[in-house]
Amino acid sequence: MGFLDRFTNRNTDEEQEKLDKGMDKTRSSFMGKLNRLVRGKDTVDAALLDDLEELLVTSDVGVDTTLDIIDHIEERVARDQYVSTEELNAMIREEIAMLMLDTEDERPADFDAELPNKPHVVMVVGVNGVGKTTTIGKMAHRYKQAGKSVLMGAGDTFRAAAIEQLEIWSERADVPMIKQKHGSDPAAVAFDTIEAAVARDSDVVLIDTAGRLHTKGGLMDELSKMKRIMSRKVPDAPHEVLLVLDASTGQNAIRQAEEFTKSVDVTGLALTKLDGTAKGGVVIGVSHQFQVPVKYIGVGEGLDDLQVFDRKGFVEALFGE
Amino acid sequence: MFESLSDKLDSALKSVTGQGRINELNIAETMREIRRALLNADVNYKVARDITDRVKEKATGDEVLQSVTPGEQLTKIVYDELTRVLGGEHVGLNMADHPPTVILVAGLQGSGKTTFVAKLAKHLRSKGHAPLLAAADVYRPAAVDQLRTLADQVGVPVYSVEDDGQIVQDAVRVADEAVAHAKQKARDVVIIDTAGRMHVDEAMMKEVADIKGAVDPNEILFVVDSMTGQDAVNTAKEFNEQLDFDGVVLTKLDGDTRGGAALSIRTVVEKPIKFASTGEKLDALSEFYPDRMAQRILGMGDVVSFVERAQEQYDEEQAQQLKQKIKSDDFDLQDFYDQLQRIQNMGSMKDLIGMIPGVGSQMKDLDLDEDAFKHIEAMILSMTPEERSNPQILNGTRRRRIAKGSGVEVRDVNQLIKQFRDMKKMMKTMSKLTGQGRSMNLKKLMGRFGGGGSNPFPG
């Protein structure tokens, strides 16, 4: 299978298979197109660069990132006069590797890694319909499987039946949750959850929030308030603010990342719905334009379909054989 | 820094505007800029290419070459082309000759199907229909609860199939039985809410095709998040191949997305966009008008919608009275309060401002406090009727009382009174100007973008 072998070398075989299947489209479309593009050509010309631009843009890498990559290649072609397609391949790889790897860690902590705080509080935010509640359900399951005690907080008190939805995940993952009734103050729910976690000596706290468009100032302020209230119970909480992005989102993903960071200092991204479509490129664009690491990727609807994202592996696998 | 499509087009067009004529040389660079602007708005790559090719063809015709204002000409061409690509005319729902009309709603996960279903039910109810909602999303946790809660708010019934309190996981059965149920209960529209599904999920795509086979819908709507990127086209294509849907619904248009996906889907599947949905309030649904969307993509505002909303709030007579009051300087704080009420009934400030041509793009980063009016209202309501009609009697004691009564500081009251005085002055000046026919500038501005019959100020 090549592409993702190294990408997920720390995952189990079963996980690997699922992820392979989930990322199949991205792999075959991006690499297949790149290979077809370069094959049979012996030099880099304007037409080839145009095709490369199309390939990167249609993979949702993003216009700015694409132009950056193309510009760099153009520069080198102009300087070196002659560039073979092999060199071009290497250049693209270098460029993408640079974009992907210039942020700190190579791979975020696994679910079984020792946590720096107790309880370790994670707040999950994002626009409507990206899969926040589902991501929390999956995280709860993965943390629990790794031997951690988990507590979830039903902080989406706004959307109809959001609490019920998290409740079902709580049963599936067999992880307890703290809730209040629909329409109550989400900051109070967050506070109660952390308080309960301290009392129960839980390892991980996962706080759900209502989906909100990043353009709604009032709702964004509500998030900052939730965050402030949490730190009253446990200083430094939340230790992680996870922004969930739908992988099929286009250029607006960057705006979402910017605005949420302004309000709540996003520390990591979870990219959902990566299964099934040719959207892997958005990982590259987001990593480049937004200096917050992708931490998780969602590749299906099952409890296990959430993976820790290994960037180094991703780049190696993208071009490795 | 993100630039919206209109900003980018602006700068692309400026390079032409500064020059006397459009020519082969300056147009190539401009087209490249326009294409990138379209790509940045998530317009599909191929569609963006097609658009710029056509714009270029038109723009290099003799007519434009001899025009004195190439920038404006080019804007008009781009606008016309966007309107054409978006479908030209508004297309409504297909209704059955013999009720019930069956509407099937499908789309990806998280695209906003359930919320849209509730909004559509409300919309149809306001037009005199009696909808029934079918809860055919039998998989997502609590999806049926969500639909039921929203349906309660709208006041329409929901049909679901449960066994011993458990949702029966048979979407085809739910849809089929819902239609039969509607016939029995004389509900004339059935809206079927289905589970979100990935277009590559064969089993799930077969399920929705089976629902279609079982109930033979009059209208199949494909719901898509307007923030979707390049993949929107593939998704729409796959759904169309499976379902041959009749129309597209764009959701979450209230973000800062430019909605380039709308352009792409319309072009690639050749199906009309029928509704645009904004916000979580259940009346935030509008029928889709291509020319208005083209104006939005270009950042030209949406004057028609603005005027329509204003018309809902004002009749001719009220408008005349108001004009008279301003002219004769009788406009007082009570009138001001009434106007505030009307404006708020028109919708959120951000929506309204976004509709004003040329203002939308400048105001996009402005964080408007939707509650800002509340303090003003509270202050006016704390005044006596006499104070409202004669603000000049407001001395220090009265101002302190008002501040106390409305929970603000005295300086807020002072500020209100000052602002009101300034506003009156401005209104008087404006009414004098328009009296002398100086509103020409606005008319001229609108005429520029008049395009597809959307000029709200004819003549």
DSSP assignment string, B169-237: --HHHHHHHHHHHHHHHT-SEEEEEE----TT-HHHHHHHHHHHHHH--SEEEEEEETTB-TTHHHHHH
Q: Do the Cβ atoms of B112 and A129 come within 8 Å?
A: yes
Interface test with A, best of B2, B8, B39 (most A CBs within 10 A): B39
pLDDT band with cut points at 50, 70 and 90 for residue B384: very high
- Mean pLDDT (chain A, rounded): 81
Q: Is the pLDDT of residue A4 over 50?
A: no
Percent above pLDDT 90 for chain A: 35
| pLDDT for the residue B179 | 95
Phi, psi of A42, rounded to the nearest 5 degrees: -110, -5
Helix or strand (DSSP H, E) at B131: strand B131-136
- pLDDT one-digit tens code per residue, A143-156: 999 999 999 999 99
Report the C-alpha gap between B36 and B12 in whole angstroms: 10
H-only helix segments in A183-319: 186-200, 217-233, 252-264, 281-289, 311-319
Closest alpha carbon to B277 in B117, B90, B44:
B117
Q: Is the pLDDT of residue A84 over 70?
A: yes
Q: Is the pLDDT of residue B351 over 90?
A: no
Closest alpha carbon to B275 in B219, B313, B325:
B219
| pLDDT for the residue B76 | 74
- Residues of chain B with Cβ-Cβ distance to A169 below 8 Å are 141
| Cα nearest neighbour of B47 on chain A | A58
Percent above pLDDT 70 for chain A: 81
Q: Is the pLDDT of residue A160 over 90?
A: no
Contacts of A37 (CB under 8 A, 6+ apart): A48, A51, A52, A55
Report the C-alpha gap between B254 and B156 in whole angstroms: 26
CB B252 within 8 A of CB A127: yes
Asked if the C-beta of B309 comes within 8 angstroms of chain A's C-beta atoms, the answer is no
Q: Is the pLDDT of residue B68 over 60?
A: no
| pLDDT for the residue A155 | 94
| pLDDT for the residue B440 | 38
pLDDT band with cut points at 50, 70 and 90 for residue B189: very high
Interface test with B, best of A21, A67, A128, A255 (most B CBs within 10 A): A128
- Residues of chain B with Cβ-Cβ distance to A248 below 8 Å are 108, 225, 228-229, 231-232, 235
Burial of A217 per CB tally in 10 Å (0-12, 13-18, 19+): middle
- Number of Cβ atoms within 10 Å of the Cβ of A230: 25
Q: Is the pLDDT of residue B1 over 60?
A: no
> Å from A12 to nearest chain B CA?
24
Closest alpha carbon to B453 in B71, B83, B91, B93:
B83
* Segment among A306-310, B19-23, B358-362, B427-431 with least mean pLDDT: B358-362
Per-residue pLDDT, averaged over B82-97, amounts to 86
| pLDDT for the residue A101 | 61
What predicted TM-score, i.e. pTM, was given to this entire model? 0.73
pLDDT band with cut points at 50, 70 and 90 for residue B13: low
Question: Can you say which residues of B are annotated as belonging to the binding site for GTP?
Answer: 107-114, 193-197, 251-254
Query: Is the interface score ipTM higher than 0.85?
Result: no
Q: Is the pLDDT of residue B239 over 80?
A: yes
Interface test with B, best of A57, A164, A221, A252 (most B CBs within 10 A): A252
Contacts of A59 (CB under 8 A, 6+ apart): A26, A29, A30, A278, A279, A280, A281, A282, B230
| pLDDT for the residue B424 | 79
| pLDDT for the residue B442 | 39
| pLDDT for the residue A140 | 96
Helix or strand (DSSP H, E) at B354: helix B349-355
- Residues of chain B with Cβ-Cβ distance to A275 below 8 Å are 198, 200
Q: Which domains does chain B have, with CATH numbers?
A: 3-85 (1.20.120.140), 101-298 (3.40.50.300), 305-448 (1.10.260.30)
Per-residue pLDDT, averaged over A195-218, amounts to 92
| pLDDT for the residue B171 | 93
In whole angstroms, how far apart are CA B84 and each of B12, B44, B79, B169?
21, 16, 9, 43
Structure tokens at B157: 């019934």
Closest alpha carbon to B449 in B290, B308, B295:
B295
pLDDT band with cut points at 50, 70 and 90 for residue B436: very low
| pLDDT for the residue B149 | 92
Concatenated DSSP letters of B374-426: HHHHHHHHTS-HHHHH-GGG--HHHHHHHHHHHT--HHHHHHHHHHHHHHHHH
Q: Compute the C-alpha angle A226/A232/A238, nearest 5°.
A: 55
- Number of Cβ atoms within 10 Å of the Cβ of A294: 24
| Cα nearest neighbour of A253 on chain B | B227
- Residues of chain B with Cβ-Cβ distance to A218 below 8 Å are 369-371
- Residues of chain A with Cβ-Cβ distance to B249 below 8 Å are none
| pLDDT for the residue B21 | 57
Asked if the C-beta of B112 comes within 8 angstroms of chain A's C-beta atoms, the answer is yes
Burial of A60 per CB tally in 10 Å (0-12, 13-18, 19+): buried
Helix or strand (DSSP H, E) at A296: strand A294-298
Rg (CA), chain A: 21
| Cα nearest neighbour of A172 on chain B | B141
CB A208 within 8 A of CB A169: no
Helix or strand (DSSP H, E) at A40: none
| pLDDT for the residue B180 | 95
